[in-house]
Amino acid sequence: MTEHDVTERDEGPVESITQPPDSSPPSVWLSMPSTQVVTGVPASITLHVDRGTNWILQGGRWAPIPAANFQELVVAVQGLGETRDHRDSVNSGGTYPFTFLSPGSYQVTGTGNTTDGRTYTANPMTATAVAPPPPSFTWNTPADGTAVGVGPNGGSLTVDLTTPSGLAYPLTVQVGLDGTTTSDQDTGTHFTKSRTLAQTPLGPRPITVTVVDAQGRSTSQSRSVVAQDSAPPAVSINPFTNPLVVSQLPAVLSLSGTTSGAASGIASVGYSVPALNISGQATNTGPNGDWSTWTASIPFSTTGDGIAFSITATDVRGGTGSATSQITIQF
């Protein structure tokens, strides 16, 4: 230790202030989220800035100050051109979008120019541009043939899709339903859209989903959903012979009738005679298996006047609708 390093005083040794701490030079460097980019999709290139450090003596202490003041940042991509940034914020670096138009390898360079005429150069990078696959998607919901209950305000359904991560994002997702098409941009791999199915017409309705990628390529899928009246199902009983005159018991009352069928999503039709504790199922005679027509054979083990019975239709949502009548059975 020399006399220049420590001066002995009554209070002990004091560090010399003749030598400042080590300075650090300015620098710039490049980075990208991934060096593999997709053609036709903007990719972000960041030029980072370190202004370095010098030291000045203030009040008997060494204080740090920036070693450089940048006034311009330049990022260039081979064959695509360059971006020059003169904003006041360049001392904090900058991020710049470039769109790679065709597959291949591209050299990326970056420089920073200071107010006093110095230039600092980043180590170059190589970006590899690849062509994205054509758009594709998995259609999760609604499934083909899904029944949707509709009322005066229509019926709600949710279109849910997933897409692979390597597509040319952003995607445009179009949903065509009831003569109208919605169009939404999707930047992720999961897309959900709510649509309202109009009240009419009832029955199968087509729905189409089209996905368009950032390069204008598209793919479509179509399926159908079935609009069903969400009101309680309707059932009616055709005219029948009353009174029913029989020669023996049990007597069988043969009935037929109609329901709102496919429009309401009828799942079953049954009969009940409460006073006799009798119940059972009708037979589906609808031409398309939709319970639009039915028949039933109700056994009566006794005679009587005005024996009440009911016919009940149940839809796929658990809704019910009934028709009631009475029968007189006599010998």
* 275-299 per-position pLDDT tens digit: 999 999 999 999 989 999 999 999 9
Q: From CA 105, how far away is CA 319, in angstroms rounded?
A: 64
Q: Is the pLDDT of residue 2 over 60?
A: no
What is the average per-residue pLDDT within 67-78? Answer: 98
- Compute φ and ψ for 241, nearest 5 degrees: -70, 125
| Tens digits of residue pLDDT in 31-48 | 999 999 988 889 999 999
Report, as an integer, the average pLDDT of 131-157: 91
Residue pair 194/156 in contact (Cβ under 8 Å)? The answer is: yes
Q: Are 47 and 96 in contact (CB under 8 A)?
A: yes
Above 90 in pLDDT, residue 160?
yes
Average pLDDT on 103-117 reads: 97
Predicted local confidence at residue 13, as pLDDT: 42
Top-confidence residue, 136 or 151: 136
The fold of 138-229 is Immunoglobulin-like (2.60.40)
Confidence band of 262 (pLDDT split at 50, 70, 90): confident
* 4: pLDDT strictly greater than 60: no
Contact 206, 222 (CB under 8 A): yes
pLDDT tens profile 100-109: 989 999 999 9
Question: What's the confidence (pLDDT) of residue 223?
Answer: 97
The reported pLDDT for the residue numbered 312 is: 98
Confidence (pLDDT) at 17: 63
Mean pLDDT, rounded, for 15-29: 85
Query: Looking at the predicted structure, is the pLDDT value of residue 6 above 60?
Result: no
* CA distances from residue 192 to 16, 110, 252, 305 in whole angstroms, order as listed: 68, 41, 55, 60
pLDDT at 16: 52
Confidence grade of residue 29 (pLDDT, cut at 50, 70, 90): very high
Average pLDDT over residues 176-192: 96
Instruction: Give the least confident one: 17-26, 60-69, 275-284.
Output: 17-26
Per cent of the chain over pLDDT 70 is 95
> Which is more confident, 104 or 316?
104
Domain 235-330 carries which CATH code? 2.60.40.10
Checking if the pLDDT of 155 tops 80, the result is: yes
| pLDDT for the residue numbered 14 | 43
- Architecture category of domain 6-130 in CATH: Sandwich (2.60)
Q: Is pLDDT at 113 greater than 60 in this prediction?
A: yes
For 171, half-sphere exposure in the C-beta direction (CA atoms, 13 angstrom radius) is 30
Average pLDDT over residues 37-62: 93
One-character DSSP codes across 230-295? -SPP-EEE----SSEE-SSSSEEEEEEEEE-GGGTTEEEEEEEEGGGTEEEE-EE--TTSSSSEEE
Query: What are the structure tokens assigned to 184, written together?
Result: 């939404």
Across the chain, what does the average pLDDT equal?
91
243-254: average pLDDT: 93
Domain with CATH 2.60.40.10 in the chain: 6-130, 138-229, 235-330
Q: Does residue 317 register a pLDDT over 90?
A: no
